[in-house]
Amino acid sequence: MKTVVKFGGSSLASARQFKKVGDIIRSDKSRRYVIPSAPGKRNDKDEKVTDMLYQCYDAASQGRSYKKILEKIIARYQEIIDGLDLNLNMDHEFQRIEEDFLAKKGRDYAASRGEYLNGMVMANYLGYEFIDAAEVIFFDENGSFLAEATNTELAERLATADKAVIPGFYGSAPDGSIRTFSRGGSDVTGSIVARAIHADLYENWTDVSGFLVADPRIVPDPQVIETITYKELRELSYMGASVLHEDAIFPVREEGIPIHIRNTNKPEDKGTLIVENTCRKPRYTVTGIAGKKGFCSVFIEKAMMNGEVGFGRKVLEVFEKQGISFEHMPSGIDTMTVFVHQTEFIQHEQSVISGIHRAVQPDLIDLESDMALIAVVGRGMKGNRGTAARIFAALSHARINIKMIDQGSSETNIIVGVKNDDFERAIKAVYDIFITAEL
């Protein structure tokens, strides 16, 4: 059995955290490929090493003083090395990094050093081989990830490495320069490695015990989701729930490899298993509830619209020309409504209105701002009658007006639109009717 284990920044923020990670890895022989993030925050007031590296690089490359922050970064690693009693001297690494910063090797290069150095510490601590991600993870000259070239190289390289540490977050471009994924990208590296070695499992260790049914800032102490499908996860993350980098799903999904979210500080907790498909019955009808504020609706009415072939396309083309993507588009007999992100829309508002007039000569265009969208997601909803009724009843009891409803025929996602001001209360009401009431 082969397991890829990725540890997030807070799991590797100090020597104490490293020891927990060491225990976790040593407790299961299948944990052979390790992907570390850079050291994260040790407490709320602390700084992530990645952020410090960006600051240090900006100062050094702009001729400002950078020594103080560099000393702080060095001290973070030294604390870990000393706390683990390692015989590891990284002076020459730091010298090289300083030279490279002064030579303006790039912000991506700077940020990547957090993972690079942590990978070296981790490999030394575990006695695993260190493989520099720059040698096995590839980007093109524009910084787009090259999935297939990477997969071939990684598979070949890891075939000869029984146990290895591969730092997360970065790789290299054809000219040898370092490129990174977007923030939180070590999750993506873990997924890429899992795909390349045909791992049985990709464990993603973090500081929470899995995905929560709802945002804990809105619902106090929400339940943890035990099993979730990639599809449900995609829908919930799209609507704002975040634990895992979005792009981390695609590589493992192609191979049907499950991702297991675990808590480094509570390894006894079950965590959340993310799978392609499962017969495991979900505990509740609804797997998760997530949402976002800040939408605007553009309502368009025209008598006999339904008979006008191409009406929808012409309207959407107006948005497309302004570079605005739409979120949802419920329609009626002679009406259609396009939901867009308010901040994106506002700058182009007047051009869109005049564009629609020109394109389809509507009878009426009406705008409504400050709307929130809430997604109620769950494979358990399929073929189960009464789910929508329960959502609407819950919202009506909470005296919340529903502005929009959208359910695709996959029956695994119902989206409701409410006013921004009702957002939190709406999520609580839906949580209570599906989870609290079923506990």
Q: Which residues bind ligand ASP (CB under 6 A)?
A: 9, 37-38, 48, 50, 114, 168-169, 183-187
Sequence-ordered alpha helix ranges (H) in 40-106: 49-61, 67-83, 91-102
**Distance of closest approach, residue 425 Cβ to ligand ASP, in angstroms:** 33
User: Are the CB atoms for 194 and 69 separated by under 8 Å?
Assistant: no
How far is it, in rounded angstroms, from Cα 171 to Cα 167? 9
Give the single-character DSSP code of 337: E
> CB-wise, 182 or 277, nearer to ligand ASP?
182
Position of minimal CB gap to ligand ASP: 186
> CB-wise, 35 or 213, nearer to ligand ASP?
35
Number of alpha carbons in the 13 Å side-chain half-sphere of residue 49: 30
**Distance of closest approach, residue 95 Cβ to ligand ASP, in angstroms:** 22
Strand order in the sheet with 31-36: 129-130, 164-165, 31-36, 3-7, 201-206, 259-263, 272-275, 227-229
Q: Is 175 exposed, middle or buried (0-12, 13-18, 19+ CB in 10 A)?
A: exposed
User: Which tokens sit at 138?
Assistant: 């590839």
In which element (H, E) is residue 121 found?
Answer: helix 107-126
> CB-wise, 50 or 209, nearer to ligand ASP?
50
**Distance of closest approach, residue 10 Cβ to ligand ASP, in angstroms:** 9
**Distance of closest approach, residue 53 Cβ to ligand ASP, in angstroms:** 9
> CB-wise, 207 or 349, nearer to ligand ASP?
207
**Distance of closest approach, residue 179 Cβ to ligand ASP, in angstroms:** 13
**Distance of closest approach, residue 182 Cβ to ligand ASP, in angstroms:** 8
> CB-wise, 101 or 170, nearer to ligand ASP?
170
> CB-wise, 207 or 344, nearer to ligand ASP?
207
How far is it, in rounded angstroms, from Cα 53 to Cα 351? 42
